[in-house]
Amino acid sequence: MNNETFTELANRVTPIDVAAVASARELQDRLTKPQGSLGFLETLSVQLAGIAGVCPPLVPEPATIAVFAGDHGVVDAGVTPWPSEITAQMVANFCGGGAAINVLARHVGARVVIVDVGVATPVPGDAVGLVRRNVAAGTANMATGPAMSEAQAMEALNVGADVARGAIQEGAGLLVTGDMGIGNTTPSAALIAAFTHTSARVVTGRGTGIDDDMLAVKTRVIETALARLSSDASPLAILAEVGGLEIAALAGFIVAGAAARVPIVIDGVIAVAAAVVASAFSPEVPNYLIAGHRSSEPAASAGLEYLHLTPVLDLGLRLGEGSGAALAVPIVQAAAKVLREMATFDSAGVSERDAE
């Protein structure tokens, strides 16, 4: 990918390989099992072959989980009870290896990269391994005006693309999305509502567990912000108006992975919003995505339906950080191993059932 910009990468995302897809389907039907008996695992294996352009595909490993962190001015509008300072505190926790994503990454053998793309509170200088690419100290309050400028949104898109490029150059065979940002379910719901043309009332959820009064405030904030968008607004304009810096970076990360023909496992509602944004810039992107899980946030389901993605897991998770996506990594890798390692009826000397 050299030093291609986000825009160049978005233009370079190509369809997955239809010949490899056909070969994978045919091979699945010759493996020593009833056809279709491995369910969604078979679907994943076929997708991985199409992404790789070869059947059987290499096992997508190792995995790199990129956790992008950013703050949101909309917190000032009363959409969450949590203060923005927690974002920086959690970034330090990630760097120290003590968060859920660190535990789960160790469990599945994945590397974690933590990126400050828009944290408002200074992160301690001793945060080990933190990638400091701060575009701005959080976004502005989208309740009263644009969250950021288009230039800032584009800069964040390029940060994400750079991180993906670096991970792939270091050998990553699977990219996994993570996020951290107090208040970030509000811009995520707004983005999904904007791109899927869904009502704010349908997609707005309780995030960290807000009460009915705060949910009503959150819904009104999203409705107000969406009302500022013109009907012909570009993807970049929509992202700048109601998005977030870490969401933009995630979109860049996704697009760069797809351009390099590397599968991307996306996490919950924040990552789904980023995937919707990425697909607006590059329509072939969803073919490279694997939905790690179904978040309990309503916007996540709306976004997954829009992207035509079926989640691997449905555990009622709503933590973020990349937690659900990390849990899906071994299943994705197992799908490739089935195609690579299972015997066919012919090679194993097993008789197939008679055709009727």
Catalytic residue positions, numbered: 321
CA–CA separation, 159 and 161 (whole Å) = 5
Q: CB under 8 Å to 123, separation ≥6 — which residues?
A: 88, 91, 92, 116, 130, 132
Q: Give the DSSP letter of residue 176.
A: E
Altogether, the residues listed in the chain come to a count of 356
d(Cα 290, Cα 282) in Å, to the nearest integer?
Answer: 16
Name the nearest CA neighbour of 191 among 248, 135, 124: 248
Q: What six digits make up the tokens of 301?
A: 């389901």
Q: Give the ranges where the chain is alpha helix by DSSP (H).
A: 6-10, 18-30, 40-52, 85-96, 100-108, 150-169, 185-196, 200-203, 212-227, 235-242, 245-259, 269-281, 298-307, 323-341, 345-348
Longest CA–CA span in the chain (Å) reads: 70
Convert 205-262 into a string of H (helix), E (strand) and C (coil): CCCCCCCHHHHHHHHHHHHHHHHCCCCCCCHHHHHHHHCCHHHHHHHHHHHHHHHCCC
